[in-house]
Amino acid sequence: MASRRAFDIRHQTGFPVVALTCFFLLYLPIAALVVYAFNAGASVAVWQGFSLRWFVTAWNNEQVLDAAWRSFRIAVCAAFIATAAATMAALATTRTRPYRGLNAKYAFINMPLMVPEIVVSVALLIFFSRIKLATGYTGLGYLVAAHAAFCIPFAYLPIRARLEMTDLSLETAAADLYATKWQAFRWVTLPLLWPGILAGLMLAFVISLDDVVITEFVKSAGQETLPTYMLGQLRRAVTPEMNAISTVFLLISVGIVTLFFIVSRKRT
């Protein structure tokens, strides 16, 4: 009797049609947004010729530049903090013998991925509001802390995956050669872990850069980031300037995510 062919979803009847339909419905609105960013007129529905007018308008808008610069600073700080914390957490949960409660710690670290972001935002709002009342400080530190806390699991996953792929025999060999724990980490573990750390850093950066919900709840007056500024403008009127800003944002995000996949696939 002929052996049965292994199941492959790609060979199922109608799969190409369903897949193409899903991609079409998903990316058509994005494509329309990008196209109308180059519209010469003020309409986002009627094409009136090709122009870079709205990109120039956005570049000359001081509010846009101020919000973009603030978003970048917050994202850089949050990404480095989250990546440092995620690296330590990954080392603590992989370079140890299995023990009772290890899975609970793993679930706790990844909880922001499972809990709705609105719940995290409300919790952070309540927590930071108490600190603001007690200290009187209303700076960007709250946004950095909130973004860093939310981004930790995004940085943790690629770093942990990299550690799990690393051959422990190399670290064991370093210990046999009388290397201290710090020396083994500095000269063996860290070089092998760099691709995972860079991937986690880039992923945390793009998550922080794009965040709206947490920022909207935690920010104080005059602390608009680019996503929250765009949200506020869309409540008033939709113009191709928002399309132009979104297009630039899209290109930055796609570039960072592409680098993330390239780095995460790198092998030693």
To 10 degrees, what angle do helices 15-36 and 240-264 make? 130
**What pLDDT score was predicted for residue 148?**
93
Domain total for the chain?
2
Whether 147 has a pLDDT exceeding 90, the answer reads yes
**What pLDDT score was predicted for residue 25?**
86
What lies within 8 Å, CB to CB, of 80 at 6+ separation is 201
Is residue 139 within 8 Å of residue 166, measured between CB atoms?
no
Q: Are residues 180 and 148 in the same domain?
A: yes
Within a domain: 5: no
Is residue 229 within 8 Å of residue 188, measured between CB atoms?
no
Q: Are residues 111 and 229 in the same domain?
A: yes
Write the pLDDT tens digit of every residue in 35-46: 888 988 888 778
pTM: 0.82
168, burial (CB in 10 Å: exposed 0-12, middle 13-18, buried 19+): exposed
Q: Are residues 63 and 136 in the same domain?
A: yes
Q: Are residues 94 and 217 in the same domain?
A: yes
Q: 3-17, 178-192, 210-224 — which one is most confidently predicted on average?
A: 210-224
Q: Are residues 112 and 235 in the same domain?
A: yes
Q: Are residues 111 and 73 in the same domain?
A: yes
R_g of the chain computed on alpha carbons: 23
Within a domain: 7: no
Q: How confident is the model at residue 268 (pLDDT cuts 50, 70, 90)?
A: very low
Tell me the pLDDT of the chain averaged across its residues.
84
CATH code for the domain of 219: 1.10.3720.10
Q: Are residues 42 and 63 in the same domain?
A: no
Q: Are residues 34 and 70 in the same domain?
A: no
Dihedral (CA of 186, 190, 194, 198) sign: negative
Write the pLDDT tens digit of every residue in 180-191: 777 777 777 778
Within a domain: 202: yes
Domain that holds residue 105: 58-264
Q: How confident is the model at residue 4 (pLDDT cuts 50, 70, 90)?
A: low
